[in-house]
Amino acid sequence: MTSQSNALNMEGAASETIAAFPHPSAHQNPSSDYSIGTAEPADYFALMKPRVMSLVVFTAWVGLIAAPVSVPLWTMGAIILSIAVGAGASGALNMWYDADIDAQMSRTKKRPIPRGTVRPETALTFGVIMSAFAVLALSMASNYLAAGLLAFTIFFYAVIYSMLLKRSTPHNIVIGGAAGAFPPMIGWAAATGEITIDSIVLFMIIFLWTPPHFWALALYKAGDYEKVGIPMMPNVKGPASTRFQIFAYALVLAAICVVPVMTGLGGWIYGIIAGLLNLGFLALSFRVWKSRAGEQADNSDEASLYAVKAGDLAARNLFAYSIIYLFAIFGALAAESLLKGIIA
Amino acid sequence: MTENIPETYEPTAAELKARNRRNIAIALLLASFMAFVFITMITRAAGAAG
């Protein structure tokens, strides 16, 4: 719990949080120390953050497809499965560590640990075992570089982001975003056995996409983060600074999206789609910058990611668009690579 | 202290049902992992030979 002592004004809040958070078993019955629990396999699947996992699976698959080395179908499936399990394992470790704050945030309070269906220590064990399985499986299916990158990604998300950054700096998701950016690089490394400029570009696209994506959400969910003392950018630097930074990141993201055309990773199909997508991203980011998103106090207890007050509409629109944007831009790269394969 | 601890704990029907499902899931996962290792090894060996 080192991060709690390092957090900005977090010590008091953290101890109150822990005191207020009953052990999950307390929700079950008085003799629950002996209970064998009522957790279903679906609860363990929920620990693996399936929505995040779907993005990881897709971007890792694009890394594999876009790489200049073809991979047999079974091996491709094995690699994707290993990366998916690794991503899920890191999600379980994150849920174990963040159980105290998850219990208080409207967006996360229905997760298995706050709900009392899975004990924190069980989630930790599950996360560690699945991490080991995932890294071992990837090393067998591909190579040690890819397996090492997966192990580092799990470590980065669980330790660097969850334990060290999340509760201590408003730049938490800027640096922590690297964890979400590694999957296409892992996919690429699994296919080729190396890290190249192209795989770094794939990494950079997700890395630069992450801050505007999360800050758009944080602008209209600021109250939720503030309640548990997470120093998100809108809470620390204010909504105006956050809105400007969103637009600045959108500009840099648009610039990095040109690089695949220059390196040959993306052709004209990617160029056109990426151009249009970035125009949309820039336009929505500009509207966020010029809006008053995040100015109203967020006192809602709304669990939905998309429910929003009128003033925050621009931020909600950017958040929703950013998800489509990432799928589409990676989808364009995959489509182009597949077409190249068919034509060749 | 010790007199408050029951010597045995009788799981409820819901707990037994959940445990049964967890056991089946673990068995399936382990069997899948064995199949995964086997097929991966065969695929890689075939690729290296071919």
The pTM is what?
A: 0.84
Residues A236 and A238: their CA atoms lie apart, in Å, by: 6
Other residues' Cβ atoms within 10 Å of the Cβ of residue A259: 17
Q: Of A55, A86, A52, A264, which is closest to residue A190 (Cα–Cα)? A: A86
The string of pLDDT tens digits covering residues A113-130 is 999 999 999 999 999 999
| The two three-digit tokens of residue A48, written as one number | 């693996």
Residue A47 · residue A93 · CB < 8 Å: no
- Which residue among B6, B22, B40 sits closest to A141, beta carbon to beta carbon? B40
Residue A167 · residue A10 · CB < 8 Å: yes
Phi-psi region of A49 (alpha: psi -120 to 50; beta: other; left: phi over 0): left
Interface test with A, best of B7, B22, B28, B34 (most A CBs within 10 A): B22
Q: Of A201, A14, A236, A192, which is closest to residue A103 (Cα–Cα)? A: A14
The string of pLDDT tens digits covering residues A2-49 is 343 443 343 344 334 333 344 444 444 434 566 788 899 999 999 999
Residues A159 and A311: their CA atoms lie apart, in Å, by: 36
Checking ipTM against 0.90, whether it exceeds it is no
Residue A258 · residue A208 · CB < 8 Å: no
- Using the Cβ of B6 and the Cβ atoms of chain A, whether some distance falls under 8 Å is answered with yes
Residues A33 and B4: their CA atoms lie apart, in Å, by: 12
- Using the Cβ of A268 and the Cβ atoms of chain B, whether some distance falls under 8 Å is answered with no
Q: Contact B15/A72, CB-based, under 8 Å? A: no
Residues A240 and A251: their CA atoms lie apart, in Å, by: 17
Whether residue A180 is predicted with pLDDT greater than 60 in this model: the reply is yes
Residues A325 and A327: their CA atoms lie apart, in Å, by: 6
Residue of higher predicted confidence among B4 and A39: A39
- Which residue among B15, B33, B39 sits closest to A74, beta carbon to beta carbon? B39
Interface test with B, best of A74, A119, A138 (most B CBs within 10 A): A74
pLDDT at A305: 66
Q: Contact A37/B18, CB-based, under 8 Å? A: yes
Interface test with B, best of A38, A45, A133 (most B CBs within 10 A): A38
Q: What is the mean pLDDT of chain A?
A: 87
- Using the Cβ of B38 and the Cβ atoms of chain A, whether some distance falls under 8 Å is answered with no
